[in-house]
Amino acid sequence: MSERKAIYPGTFDPITLGHMSVVKRALIVFDKIIVAVAKDSHKNTFFTYDERYKILKEVFNENPRVEVMQFEGLLVEFAKKIGVNVILRGLRTVSDFEFEFQMALTNRKIDSSIETVFIMAEDHVSYFSSSLVREIAKLGGDISSLVPPQVIRWFKKKTEGK
Ligand code: COA
């Protein structure tokens, strides 16, 4: 049987334990998850496109069932290029739903062979967000319960380098 794969796209500025929880739960359903960092998201990011990619590579380095990739342009085009027709997105609270609903249907409109699958993050991380992590880190707070250790090192590297 062929491998069941899904693309988990995002800005990941930075990845949090919430995103990792979605990947962990998704690996119950899929054989392989491709975590794909978007160059073109609607956000001004703190970490550059390459930094966000490098952080993810470090975080998933030891998991052979997770592959990290970068993509520019439309997500559905990237999905087609790598031959994967499932997009994975995490749902935290009801407030995520509207945006996710719009994105999933738009992606399906662009390419009807693409299906979006939603996985809920575990409840103890379901309120985490990258912007709150960035805010706490910038103000010198402790983010160790919100992100993997690699992210803490990257924040230090980035702020000390300034
Ligand atoms: N745990 C923690 N946080 C989570 C989360 C989870 N499980 N799921 C979502 N989030 C948070 C993130 O922390 C982030 O929070 P922030 O806004 O406070 O920074 C926010 O939800 C969403 O970020 P992220 O999960 O990184 O994804 P995104 O919504 O930025 O991703 C793309 C959007 C990249 C998928 C979308 O812009 C895209 O597909 N771009 C390519 C161009 C394209 O095809 N556009 C057409 C789309 S229809």
**Ligand 1 mean position to 111 CA, how many Å?**
20
How far CA 120 is from CA of 19, 30, 127, 157, in Å, comes to: 10, 15, 11, 32
Average per-residue pLDDT for the chain: 94
* Tokens standing for residue 142: 């402790």
84 burial (CB, 10 Å; 0-12 / 13-18 / 19+) is buried
pTM: 0.94
Residue 44 φ/ψ region, left for φ over 0, alpha for ψ in the -120 to 50 degree band, beta for the rest? beta
> Which of 5, 19, 52, 89 is labelled catalytic?
19
Q: Which of 74, 100, 129 to mutate to test the pocket of ligand 1 (most atoms within 8 A of CB)?
A: 129
pLDDT, tens digit (0-9, with 9 covering 90-100), for 19-74: 999 999 999 999 999 999 999 767 789 999 999 999 999 999 999 999 999 999 99
The reply to whether ligand 1 has any atom less than 6 angstroms from the CB of 107 is: yes
Residue 160 pLDDT = 81
Nearest-10 Cα torsion for 57, 66, 119, 21: -60
Task: Tell me which fold the domain 5-157 belongs to.
Answer: Rossmann fold (3.40.50)
Q: What values do phi and psi take at 72, rounded to 5?
A: -115, 155
CA–centroid distance, residue 162 to ligand 1 (Å): 27
Task: Tell whether the model's pLDDT for residue 161 goes beyond 80.
Answer: no
pLDDT of 110 above 90: yes
How does residue 81 score in pLDDT terms, banded at 50, 70 and 90?
Answer: very high
pLDDT of 162: 62
